[in-house]
Chain A
Amino acid sequence: AQSVAQPEDQVNVAEGNPLTVKCTYSVSGNPYLFWYVQYPNRGLQFLLKYITGDNLVKGSYGFEAEFNKSQTSFHLKKPSALVSDSALYFCAVSPISGGYNKLIFGAGTRLAVHP
């Protein structure tokens, strides 16, 4: 079965420190990969995506993600965390089997950035 795993329910980091939110996936073929962020009582907002090309992709608000095909991972990173980055982060994959239309989401990782 196709799936997305976010192994950490919560990540705690001090403001100014680097952060990493982990994501691995189990999907056949070459899926599209995404990160979305959700603030309290809001919808999901697109952060970044990987379709093809350079394994390091840059997105909104200073976030970036590294695609590793051999490890089937797509970890989200930021060099210096801000308190305002505190939110729920979702990794998602869009497999070719669904015509790239069916996004499969991970369970989400809550990021808490402390002053």
Chain B
Amino acid sequence: DAGVIQSPRHEVTEMGQEVTLRCKPISGHDYLFWYRQTMMRGLELLIYFNNNVPIDDSGMPEDRFSAKMPNASFSTLKIQPSEPRDSAVYFCASRRDRPNTGELFFGEGSRLTVL
């Protein structure tokens, strides 16, 4: 299996622009998670899906952030408009439901820089 695949690996954009990050989870995994990593705040859970349905988005910082999972093999995290404080590494992770070992499989991340 190719693992969790994220794109782009690096994105540099200007304040106010729309940013779309993409994730392909491991085939057969029922849960998908979006995390953000910064030096100041560490790893934060933004949102997670179960069987393509958003379950908990309480970590999404504000309305500028949105996430979708139109099918079992694809998810997007969108920021519109982007701001410099959104600069971070965004990770996607997935896991299977049964058996629930709790172990997450992470992608390699998308490093976002907003100028």
Closest Cβ of chain A to B77, distance in Å, is 15
Q: A44's closest neighbor in chain B, by CB?
A: B106
A43 to B91, CA, bound (A): 7
Interface residue tally on A, bucketed by range? 20 to 34
A98 to B56, CA, bound (A): 9
Closest Cβ of chain A to B51, distance in Å, is 13
A102 touches B108 (CB 8 A): no
Closest Cβ of chain B to A95, distance in Å, is 11
Closest Cβ of chain B to A56, distance in Å, is 18
Give the interface of A toward B (CB within 8 A): 32, 34, 36, 41-46, 49, 51, 90, 94, 98, 100-103, 105-108
Instruction: Offer 17 A-B interface pairs, CB within 8 angstroms, sorted by A.
Output: A41-B109, A43-B4, A43-B108, A44-B104, A44-B106, A49-B101, A49-B102, A51-B102, A90-B43, A98-B56, A100-B102, A101-B50, A102-B45, A102-B56, A103-B104, A106-B42, A107-B42
